[in-house]
Amino acid sequence: MPINKKILDKITSKTKIYLAIILILLILLCIYEVKFIIPSIILYILLMLYTFWTNGRKKSEFFKHIQELTLDVDSAAKNNLINSPFPLIIMETDGNIIWKNSKFVKEFINIDIKNYLEDIIKEIKQEIIKDSNKKTIEKDIIIGKKSYKIIGEYVKNKNTNNNKKYLVNLYFIDNTQNIEILKKYNDSKTCIGIIMIDNYEEIMQRISTEATPQVIATVEKEIYNWVNPTGGLIIKKDRDTFIYVFEKKYLEQIEKDKFDILDTIKQINIEGKLQLTLSIAITDEGDSNYDKYQTALSAIDIALGRGGDQAVIRTNGKYNFFGGRAQEVEKRTKVKARIIAHALEELINESKDVLIMGHMNGDIDSMGSSLGLYRLAKSLGKEVHVISSTADITLANFIESLKTNDEYAEAIIDKNEAMAKISPDTLLIIVDTHRKNYVEVPSLLDETEKIVIIDHHRKSTEFIESPILMFHEVYASSTAELVIEILQYSNQDIKLTDQEIEALYGGIMVDTKDFTFKTGVRTFEAAAYLRKLGVDIIKVKKWFQIDLENYNIISDIVKNTELINDTIGIAVYNKVDKNAGIICAKAADELITISDITASFVIGNVGDKICISGRSIGDINVQVILEKLGGGGHITVAGAQLHELTLEEAKKLVIEKINEYLSENS
């Protein structure tokens, strides 16, 4: 019996089963009784008609119900849009406003909302260009005196032929109260600071007993007066150290005032024209007050390592520095040098071998220091090597002459040889730098935990963490000076070779600019020690002589110097030269000898990078300026390197940082 397939498709699956069972029963009945064939056919047709009719009726009722439900949903959605508790606007990305609800009109009745909407539309267009699949936007914005979180969705407008036109609906959720609560919470957080008098011991030794109580009282009074407006708690931890606890809401004002306490303390009159300075470290980083105190201790080490007379704020994982305009204070005691010397000997004895490494593009100070420590390790019977892969032209010539001696030819190795020799039991001594990205071979730092640092540069935020021994004295003229003190206090009978003596003396000469910059009592004591050993001063001086061609280049650089603020000279060496670093340094030295120039900056192109040399007579901190460009050094001598910039771009950047520094210290 033929049955229309369309009819069957409209019948539900359960009904199909029932009809199939009835059909089978009727067929069986007809087999036994032929007379039931016609009644069975009529009955089955009637059942089919009835089933089709009832099924159609149910579907009709179902579709009617769905239609009514859809209308109800559409009506509810429209009511929700119209009566939304949040301001809502629908607009096109060409700025045309399609519709806005009454809440939007009421919320921004006294505000020119058009400018804000233009900015939002610009941002949406940028998002569409970046990622056409993204269809939502979320943005925080301040309108008038309120803060809003904008949540929106955008789709292509189907009613236009322009494929670039989108339809945007934006909800404005008032977030003012939440932000105020969050601000109150953040403002109430605890900040912990450490205030330290840099040169307390020296001042107390040099003033009369009668004046001591008055000086101490004056200093403490000024510190308390500075703290009082914040309602903070200050505790005197030691004779020269204070702990400062206050709420974070006062930190912004302290930053705006640029830690004026630093200048206030320096203005205190002390007999003998002595000057007190402070170092301050403040932080809000840490899960507990104890953690914050530990972070403050690390930060005060950085302030002291940069020469003192400055403040450092550690927040959001970054350091911000203030002050640092005073010269480093020379320490007269050599107790630390003696302790370091003995500790270093023990570490060398406990190690399997020793590797000594300076900074990239090594100079005579790093090499002289390395050779001095090389002889110390050799005297202790250890296998020791000096790593030198890169060097300036002066040092390259010295190394060539050094390698004519068989001992040094084997002792000086490159990066690949160093990587093959180092092991966890190797003692790695780093000289003339403490920055992990500035050492000769940075990958060596990960191969051993036995690291010793000997350096005299002002501390950077990129310092090598957790060395087992550190001799870091920013007052020292050079690393060579520190190494000489270690050699003097060694328990070994050290016999320096002529080349080692000359290299150490050369290190002091270069970093002091022939004993004119950053030269203290201990600098002359170190030089006198080398003089006793028979250093040939004339021979050392000849290393740094320049030929007539380079002298003329330096003269041209000086001649084309541009003055900034009438006292700061900035010049450019236009030629691409692998020795540009040395030429720029010598040109900067020449510039600083000219009257009325208080600081000089010379920029050169080494080939793969731009080098900058900065010099100062002390009135301007060239280290702080070049630190803004990723460099470092000292108040009077500093340098930096820039990548992927032209000379002109580098010059503009240096001028920008100079003006920024002058503005901060005006």
Full DSSP string of 430-489: EES--BTTTBS-GGGGGT-S-EEEEE-SPPPTTBPP--SEEEE-TTSS-HHHHHHHHHHT
CB of 463 closer than 8 Å to CB of 470: no
Is CATH 3.30.450 what the domain over 88-183 is classified as, yes or no? yes
3-state SS string for 182-210:
HHHHHHCCEEEEEEEECCHHHHHHHCCCC
Q: What is the CATH number of domain 548-664?
A: 3.10.310.30
Identify the pLDDT of residue 157. 65
Q: Is 157 helix (H, G, I), strand (E, B) or coil?
A: coil
Report the alpha-carbon distance of residue 524 to residue 530 in Å, rounded.
10
Q: Phi and psi at residue 384, in whole multiples of 5°?
A: -140, 140
Hey, what are 178's tokens? 């939440």
Hey, what are 191's tokens? 């900040």
First to last CA, the chain: 106
Identify the pLDDT of residue 328. 57
H or E segment and range at residue 57? helix 37-82
Tell me the residue type at 611: C
Give 617-629 pLDDT, tens digit per residue.
Answer: 878 888 889 988 8
Hey, what are 136's tokens? 């939502």
Q: Phi and psi at residue 471, in whole multiples of 5°?
A: -115, 90
Hey, what are 352's tokens? 């399997």
Radius of gyration for the chain, computed over Cα atoms and rounded to the nearest angstrom: 40
Q: How far apart, in Å, are the Cα atoms of 290 and each of 100, 191, 283, 311, 361? A: 53, 11, 12, 21, 41
Q: What is the largest CA-CA distance in the chain?
A: 141
- What residue spans define the domains of the chain? 5-79, 88-183, 188-323, 343-543, 548-664
Residues of the chain with pLDDT under 50: 1-11, 69, 73
Q: What is the CATH number of domain 188-323?
A: 3.30.70.270
Fold of 343-543: inorganic pyrophosphatase (n-terminal core) (3.90.1640)
Which residue's structure tokens are 């021994």?
469
CB of 445 closer than 8 Å to CB of 337: no
Identify the pLDDT of residue 122. 82
Tell me the residue type at 525: E
Give 300-343 pLDDT, tens digit per residue.
Answer: 888 887 778 889 999 888 888 887 766 555 555 677 888 888 88
User: Would you call 572 exposed, middle or buried from its count of C-beta atoms within 10 A (0-12, 13-18, 19+)?
Assistant: buried
CB of 120 closer than 8 Å to CB of 170: yes
Identify the pLDDT of residue 372. 94
CB of 390 closer than 8 Å to CB of 360: yes
The β-bridge partners of 152 are 137, 170
